[in-house]
Structure 1
Amino acid sequence: MIAFPCVALYNVVELNFIIMATFKRRSGLYFWSFLAATWGIAPHAIASLVQLFRPDLVGPGLVTLYLTGWWFMVTGQSLVLYSRLHLVLQNTKILRLVLAMILTNVFILHLPITILAYGKDAGIKAFRPPYNVWERIQITIFFLQEVIISSLYIYEAVKLMRMRRVFALNDDKGRARRLILHLFIVNVIIVLLDINIILFEFTGLHNIQTSYKVLVYSVKLKIEFSILNKLVELTRSVSRMTSDNDTPVNRVARLPEFVDPERHMQMQNGALDGSSLENDIWTGPEAKQGTTTEVVVREKEEAKRMSVED
């Protein structure tokens, strides 16, 4: 229990050097949320150490130290995940829903447990049972929140890998597959670390859970740089493959995300041999901006022109 917050504090010091060396432009949601999540670890870790060495030292000051670190550490981590989600996901509706989920949980999870924590620390017995119940609820919901965001990363990253397979036969000797495997393994490790927090809490090891949680969040922030670098590498590789002239591949890259790139490539091949185009376009529930119609019309005109030339 002493080792967990001590290692977390070491990670905070290291993370500050990494942040200052990595970010050339110190602005934007990703930078500030990363900084807030990092600095939130320190007061939480210090409060854990104080309680371990001085269990008789209680009061609103120690509770405030715990809660301040917890607010910044937990919600800051979720905002870090959200702020880089646009690298693999361009659906603004889903991005807004994710942000709304994070902000909603601030009000329904952070605020009640804060009030209950101060009441419990003040010695009011009526606050203790609801605090114990809400503590488990908030840990579970925050865990599910991060699992949802991580799942979106995995799903969208796999879609990017599919685009690489469509666009490039060689696929850089499996480079895309290694990137996706890296992202998948790292996200699985993060989920397993969070599961341990839940297990400690539901088995009655609350003090261990409190000390262990601060270490987990510091490790997740260090892993974050690895995930970010891989995401940037993957998206740039797809962008390079689709940045040539106005080829069929390039037109697929500019399609809205409700168009399946593999089926659209089949449509391109069908246009070359004069086959029908009506059934080769796939649209999802968000096909409402007219973009799909424009694609079909353009491809029909191209098919007619090539048929005339033949």
Structure 2
Amino acid sequence: MENITSASSDMEAVGGGIPRATAAFTAMTWYNSIELLFLVFFTFKKYSGLYFWSLIVDVLSTVTYATGAYMKQNNVAHDTHVDNILMTVGLVLMVPGQSLVLYSRLHLISSNQKLVRSILWMIIVLAVVLCVPTSMLNLREYTDQPGTYTRTYSAMAKTQMTLSSFEEVFISCVYIWETRNAMRVNFNALDRKWMWQLIAMNIFLLVMDTALLVMEFLELYMILNTFKSLVHSFKLKIEFAVLTQMVRVSQTRRQSGSSAMNSLENLENTSKWNEFVLKQVEDGEEEQEQGEGDEEEKEKDDDSKKKGKKEKKEREEDDEG
């Protein structure tokens, strides 16, 4: 979170270039957010799950924060509490939401469940420890004696920005590491293309977080507020594109695995059927051979009987003679 109270005084000391820049940043943020909302609702078949809701909440909070920042820097609202509340609520949801979007698809590439659970707890703890006190200090700046709170808030805002960026960098490094391990396996060209896209996405996130940190510590508050929302909207669009592709690749691989298992089962069933047919043929041949043997024995018995009758008849003729 940045020092949002000093933005108005800084804006009064500059010409029209900065207001035009903040207006452009805000308009681009709105455009990216609306486009992403349409993509989310048209892409998802079921409107449920952590991935879906983290995207929706993060997009809406980005719009809320960008609107509050623009109103603050251009003195749009007559009551300063309106834009301040918009920025505070937007930032409290936007920063942890960005990490939740990354976390929600991490299990597709990492089989280390202990690591995945640890990242979830890290997101929850940092959201409570950093966002709650920063928001309270920001609201306390509007008391009768805001000086002490303003200095404390400025230090807390830098701390929150640093740790939140570290959190996203850590998750991005986990993605890159797990992708590197997965690429050692012999995947097809489509899988490898998606993995390079995943690596490029996380490198882009690292660069954007670094840029925001530099602007925070240089105290470039005149453009940092609206620029931060624009960066978040771009990061969300890239994450949505790459992570959705990762889901499709994962589903394709599971379907390929199921097809392979079905093929093996069919092959096994075919082998069993062939064995059954072969056994039936062998049994038929044995019965045929046995039948032929019985016929031969029967013929021998008939020949023996005929021969015996013939000999008996000859003896009777000899006796009569």
Question: 134, 147, 160: which one pairs with 1:113?
Answer: 134
Q: Which residue of 1 aligns with 2:266?
A: none
Find out whether 1:185 has 2:200 as its counterpart.
yes
Q: Which residue of 2 aligns with 1:211?
A: 226
CA distance in 1, matches of 2:207, 2:250: 27
CA distance in 2, matches of 1:194, 1:87: 24
Letter aligned with residue 152 of structure 1 = V
CA pair 241-158 structure 1, distance change in 2 beyond 3 A: farther
For the 8 Å contact 2:69–2:83, the answer to whether it is kept is no
Q: C-alpha deviations, 1:234-274, integer Å up to 9, x for none?
A: 4345546655359xxxxxxxxxxxxxxxxxxxxxxxxxxxx
CA distance in 2, matches of 1:117, 1:24: 40
For the 8 Å contact 1:63–1:121, the answer to whether it is kept is no
Letter aligned with residue 246 of structure 2 = L
Question: 169, 177, 182: which one pairs with 1:147?
Answer: 169
CA distance in 1, matches of 2:251, 2:41: 24
Question: 70, 82, 91: which one pairs with 1:61?
Answer: 82
Q: Which residue of 1 aligns with 2:23?
A: 2
Letter aligned with residue 196 of structure 1 = A
CA distance in 2, matches of 1:197, 1:153: 21
For the 8 Å contact 2:65–2:90, the answer to whether it is kept is yes
Q: Give how far 1:56 is off.
A: 8.1
Higher RCO, 1 vs 2 (CA within 8 Å, ≥6 residues apart): 2
CA distance in 1, matches of 2:254, 2:43: 23
SS in 2 for 1:54: coil
For the 8 Å contact 2:172–2:205, the answer to whether it is kept is no
CA distance in 2, matches of 1:55, 1:126: 27
Matches within 5 A, 1:1-310: 1-54=22-75, 57=78, 59-122=80-143, 123-163=145-185, 165=186, 171-172=187-188, 174-236=189-251, 238-239=253-254, 242-243=257-258, 244-245=260-261
CA distance in 1, matches of 2:46, 2:190: 29
Alignment size in residue pairs: 240
CA pair 176-31 structure 1, distance change in 2 beyond 3 A: closer
SS in 1 for 2:159: helix
Instruction: Indicate the larger mover: 111-120 or 52-61.
Output: 52-61
CA distance in 2, matches of 1:239, 1:219: 30
Q: C-alpha deviations, 1:199-255, integer Å up to 9, x for none?
A: 111112023211111001111111122211332244345546655359xxxxxxxxx
TM-score, scaled to structure 2: 0.70
Point out the structure with the larger helix share.
2
For the 8 Å contact 1:51–1:57, the answer to whether it is kept is no
Q: C-alpha deviations, 1:79-134, integer Å up to 9, x for none?
A: 11111111111222111110100000111100110111011133521101111111
Q: Give how far 1:175 is off.
A: 3.7
For the 8 Å contact 2:68–2:86, the answer to whether it is kept is yes
CA RMSD across the alignment = 2.1
Letter aligned with residue 66 of structure 2 = A
The gaps in structure 2 that reach 5 residues or longer are 1-21, 263-321
Letter aligned with residue 210 of structure 1 = N
Q: Give how far 1:62 is off.
A: 2.0
CA pair 92-218 structure 1, distance change in 2 beyond 3 A: same
CA distance in 2, matches of 1:245, 1:16: 38
TM-score, scaled to structure 1: 0.72
CA distance in 2, matches of 1:235, 1:159: 16
Between the two proteins, what is the percent identity of the paired residues? Answer: 32
CA distance in 1, matches of 2:194, 2:205: 17
For the 8 Å contact 2:55–2:97, the answer to whether it is kept is yes
CA pair 56-13 structure 1, distance change in 2 beyond 3 A: closer
Q: Give how far 1:186 is off.
A: 1.6
Q: Give how far 1:185 is off.
A: 1.3
The gaps in structure 1 that reach 5 residues or longer are 166-170, 247-310
